[in-house]
Structure 1
């Protein structure tokens, strides 16, 4: 299905409604980024409640403005990924442990259940999931200050 074989609208509850070229309607579709860190505006699937792909969007910029804005709003409302700029301290080097960090959205603290919740997604890029499922991003470990890297090394 190409980028323009569908229409998006919102139902009275604010959920996205997908209407295919053949008139088939799916309520509550969600946009899912294929490459959320490396290429966030390229490769977005629109999936229904069962996880089936309804459409593939090669590039957000290819969409008509109104449709693009709906997809971007939906992604923004679902994606909350603070970027860690500095690790101030941790409560202990044994998990579960509380991390105190500085992010691009200000100071934060979260509980790390286990080392397996730190995932390397590129050579020096990490995703850290807290006990509530919030994803914290470390875009470049080498860009962190020495003290932050030292703390991080204890968990990797």
Structure 2
């Protein structure tokens, strides 16, 4: 099976101005200050389908795959995403206070230990076949990229809420 050919990435540049804002420079030289990269599928396919959106909300360019870009451009976009996106990944559930909501969850994440209140079962959303997005009481979103990769105890705790 041959992979589908990707559409060529149009020539453009991204840079930061003196204030730290992203500046999009089109192939013909037109500059757009304060652009924002947006992932089309931030959980399921974070490196596929990226749009660079101008300050006016209009798309300036569509990028099929992040890895199709030159290294320095990839690095700048990854840096921008890291600054804007804060979605800790749950690696293990340590404890839940009760199996009804609201309940207090104590978890181990890729960014350290965390504690949050789960207000309702609806705050746990399935994203794809194995992934979950869990919204804590302060609005912080936690991800579980692959339920099957969690330890047995963590899976059992989460399954009680699904």
* Alignment match of 1:26 (pick from 26, 32, 37): 32
CA RMSD between the two structures: 2.2
Indicate conservation of the 8 Å contact 1:16/1:29, yes or no.
Answer: yes
Q: 1:115 to 1:52 in 2, by over 3 A?
A: farther
Normalised by the length of structure 2, the TM-score is 0.82
Do residues 66 (structure 1) and 69 (structure 2) align?
no
Normalised by the length of structure 1, the TM-score is 0.85
**What whole-Å deviation, never above 9, does each CA across 1:130-156 have from its counterpart, x for those lacking one?**
223322111222332332222212221
- Report the counterpart of residue 55 of structure 2 in structure 1: 49
* Alignment match of 2:98 (pick from 87, 92, 98): 92
Do residues 4 (structure 1) and 10 (structure 2) align?
yes
* Alignment match of 1:139 (pick from 124, 136, 145): 145
Question: Structure 2: how far apart are the matches of 1:140 and 1:113?
Answer: 23
Q: 1:140 to 1:64 in 2, by over 3 A?
A: closer
**What whole-Å deviation, never above 9, does each CA across 1:29-78 have from its counterpart, x for those lacking one?**
11112232333222211112343211111222222333222111101112
Paired positions, count? 156
